[in-house]
Every structure is written in structure tokens, then in C-alpha cells.
Amino acid sequence: MTKFSDLNLNPKVLKAVSEAGYETPTPIQAGAIPPALLGQDVLGIAQTGTGKTASFTLPMISLLARGRARARMPRSLVLCPTRELAAQVAENFDTYTKHLKLTKALLIGGVSFKEQDALIDRGVDVLIATPGRLLDHFERGKLLLTGVQMMVVDEADRMLDMGFIPDIERIFSLTPFTRQTLFFSATMAPEIERITNTFLSAPARVEVARQATASENIEQGVVMFKASRKDREGSEKRKLLRELIALEGDKCTNAIIFCNRKTDVDICAKSMTKYGLDAAPIHGDLDQSQRMKTLDAFRNGELRFLVASDVAARGLDVPDVTHVFNYDVPGHAEDYVHRIGRTGRAGRDGKAIMICVPRDEKNFADIETLLQKEVPRIENPIKAAKPSKPRPKRAEKVETPEAAAPVAPAKTAVEPPAPRTEDKPATAQQDRQPRRGRGGRNDRGGKDNRVVGMGDHLPSFIALSFDERRAG
């Protein structure tokens, strides 16, 4: 079995690795470190949680141990898609360079430009950055990339999802043609393959797992959920999440809960806190200091549940996460692999549970197609626990002699029609009728409730003609 001592790393790097508690490299580390130490370009393809970060940090530190940094001209460059991943890479450098005098700078958003410029002006051996912030420093004239000897692109497929590929291509053009390039990705989309063919020179290809596969150590499951009413879906879904967590009991030491939208992240975290579950949100709209504070609390075990958007799906290295709950089905099947890869790391066992509503069934089918297997269904614990109500029995009809005998309908008394009065001249009738003014009131000031219908009112000039005929 290969050990780190067999990989020709710098003795001071080996000492730091040993003190960190590592003896045996993972397959991606054993495959990528030897060609990287020889100065070859490397294309590494491995699922998340397999130790890709150490695959480039260890050989980079060993090569940088010889030489000295110059002002504004970093000797190596590591590009990361998110602030969290960049911060994690920086922590790895701190761990493995404890016995070497190497300097680094972390260029990410949410941190003052002034502090970052001061570090670059002194000269750094390792520059760790997100693409946008790196180009900001370059365009302000604070940074030169002509001294880069080694360049690393980490989580390249995530760069593609976030729209960073044009920035990556521009950064490549700003670095020397003779640089050494290490390119790592969990999947190989056609666009990423085009970039590797353009910017890598005869790379050593290291592929240690089938592309976009989930670790065998992760137990997966899905609850097919349909709300009782559309307007109750959110509250019922959050209740289901709490029930799933309760079913896991003490086995769920800590967990990451993934939502598709930032608003749902906040709502879900607030709801869990309301019901006594120790939870906090993390997404791109939060201040960087708040994000780092929340991550540190989760890593240190002070926070049990981390409710996150996909900003934390990549690069979040907490070795002992026991569970991952997908509150939403991700829109891209590859994101599912990266989400559940936050558990079951470094050979540990993990569990991933997902909630699928009817509108997400198409995306869920894409996930099963990618995994090339069926995700086991889990019974809805709320539905299983709810006892079925017995239907009330109908009261039997008791036949009685009175009830059986038909009852004749009662005849209603009909009043005889009133005798027809003799027709009188309309003028006389009109004289006796009180005149009505506006608002239906008569001359006496009382309200006239009589309704005048068609034919009730007869003009006086017509009545005169009838009087003349009678007289004749």
C-alpha cells in the first residue's frame, strides 16, 4: 500500500502531513502527486470528498519550497469557485506549510481591498482567489500574473455552472505559457473538456471514480411528498423535515440541509430554530464575516444544523457530517452528487435523505438516470403515524306503524277572489290617490309603499274617451 513517504514530498511537508494524522494517500492523491512533482500538467477527475485539495497543495508546497516571492508577482495561483472553498484551501496551506516559510494571500469578496493589496505588495508565494476578485485586483494595476509558475483550477465543473468560464479563459491568457497547470473536476462537461484541450499540455489524466457517482458509504433515500393543499406545502414540508430528523434520533449528530432558493434557506432555518432545533442559514446574500462565523461554529460542533444553498455544496470540508437532507430536489442532477458528498467523507458512513414533491419528479428521474440506480423510497412518517379515522355508522331507520302509513298532504285554504268592483272614471280614482313626490313620498309626508306596475296608471285623456261611449 502506498504511503505519503513514498511520494517524494519535501521532508518538512511530510512532517506536517504526519502531524495532521495522515499516513495513506487517497487514490486521487496517489495518482496526481507524482506527475505534479515532475512538473507535468494534471487533469484530475474524482467525486467530491476524495481529497482533491491535498492532491495539489502538497506538490505545490514542495515545489515552492525552493525560491523566493517577489512583490505583486505571486509564484502560484489557485482559482476556486466560492469563497468557502477558497478559505478551505487557505486553511490547508496553513496546515501543510507550518514548517516552511511560505506566504499566501486570500483574494475573496467581502474582505477589504486595502488589506489584500498590502499582502500582495509584500509578495506572496501562493495566491488563492475567486475569479471575479482576482480580475478586480488585476484591472486596478495591483497584481501581475507573469510570474505564475503553477496554476490550479479547482472544482472546474462548478466554475462552469456559475458562469466563470470566460473569466477562467482570460486569466489563463494573463499567465505565462510555460506554467504548469493542475485541473480538477468532479465531472467532465464538453465545455470543460474544450478548455483542458486548449490550455493543458499533454496532461496526466487521473480518474479514480466513474464521473458523477455518489460514494458507496452513503445510504440514500427519498420521501415522495404531496401536500394536502397547495398553500400549505411549505409548512407541511418543514414539518416532514422535522419528523425525518426526529426519526434519526441520536444518529444524527449534525447535518446540512440544502434548499434551492435563498429565501427558503432563511425560512427553513428560522422554522427549525422556532421548534427547538439548533440551526443557522448560509447563502450568498449573507455578509462574509457572518458566513465564516456560521461555518466555524458548524465545524467546531457548536452548531448542529447548517441550512445552506448550493454555495456550500462545494468545498465545505467537515469530515464528520453524519447526514445530508435535501429539502428541495436540485435542478441539476450533478448537484445532487455534490450535495450528498458532504457526508460519508474520508471512508466514514453517511446518510442522505431527500424530499420530492410532484413538480420535482422530472429532476428526480434525471438523478436516478445519472446514478444508474433507483434511490430507495422512504414512507412518509407523518402519514404512517396518523391513525385512520373510522367512518361513522349510519343510524338505522326504525319502521313504525305511523311512519309506514302515508300521510296525506294538508290542504291549504284558498281565499275566494275579491268581488270585482265597478269600473269608475280614472279621474276620480286619480283624485283619491295621494300624489307622490321624489323619493316615493306622498303629500302627507308619509312614505308611499305602493308599487305602480304596467297598466295601473291610466292617462286622463284615454279615460275621457271611455266616459263619452258610456254616455252615448
Q: Where are the domains of the chain?
A: 4-207, 218-385
Radius of gyration of the chain (CA): 40
* Residue 350 or residue 157, greater confidence: 350
Query: In this prediction, what percent of the chain has a pLDDT beyond 90?
Result: 48
* Residue 395 or residue 338, greater confidence: 338
Mean pLDDT value of segment 26-38: 93
- Domain 218-385 indexed as CATH 3.40.50.2300: no
pLDDT (tens digit per residue) in 193-229? 898 999 999 999 998 865 566 777 899 999 999 999 9
Query: In this prediction, what percent of the chain has a pLDDT beyond 70?
Result: 78
**Highest mean pLDDT pick, 135-144, 303-312, 350-359, 440-449:** 350-359
pLDDT (tens digit per residue) in 340-375? 888 887 678 899 999 999 999 999 999 999 888 999
Mean pLDDT value of segment 444-454: 55
Report pLDDT for 312.
58
Q: How confident is the model at residue 439 (pLDDT cuts 50, 70, 90)?
A: very low
Report pLDDT for 430.
46
Q: How confident is the model at residue 450 (pLDDT cuts 50, 70, 90)?
A: low
Q: How confident is the model at residue 99 (pLDDT cuts 50, 70, 90)?
A: very high
Mean pLDDT value of segment 142-149: 92
Residue 273 has pLDDT above 90, yes or no: yes
Report pLDDT for 20.
87
* Residue 442 or residue 113, greater confidence: 113
Look up the CATH superfamily of 4-207.
Answer: P-loop containing nucleotide triphosphate hydrolases (3.40.50.300)
Residues forming a β-bridge with 4: none
Residue 178 has pLDDT above 80, yes or no: yes
Angle between helices 11-19 and 83-96 (to 10 degrees): 110
Report pLDDT for 394.
57
pLDDT (tens digit per residue) in 373-421? 999 999 998 875 555 455 555 555 544 444 444 545 544 444 555 555 4
Report pLDDT for 29.
92
**Same CATH topology for 4-207 and 218-385?**
yes
* Average pLDDT score over the chain: 82
Mean pLDDT value of segment 31-38: 94
Residue 457 has pLDDT above 50, yes or no: yes
Report pLDDT for 314.
61
Report pLDDT for 417.
54
Residue 437 has pLDDT above 50, yes or no: no
Report pLDDT for 176.
94
* Residue 408 or residue 269, greater confidence: 269
- Measured distance CA(341)–CA(256) in Å, rounded: 11
Inter-residue contact 128 to 119 (CB < 8 Å)? no
Report pLDDT for 471.
56
Report pLDDT for 468.
58
pLDDT (tens digit per residue) in 63-75? 998 877 778 889 9
- Measured distance CA(322)–CA(254) in Å, rounded: 6
Q: How confident is the model at residue 464 (pLDDT cuts 50, 70, 90)?
A: low
Residue 265 has pLDDT above 80, yes or no: yes
Report pLDDT for 421.
47
Report pLDDT for 83.
85
Residue 449 has pLDDT above 70, yes or no: no
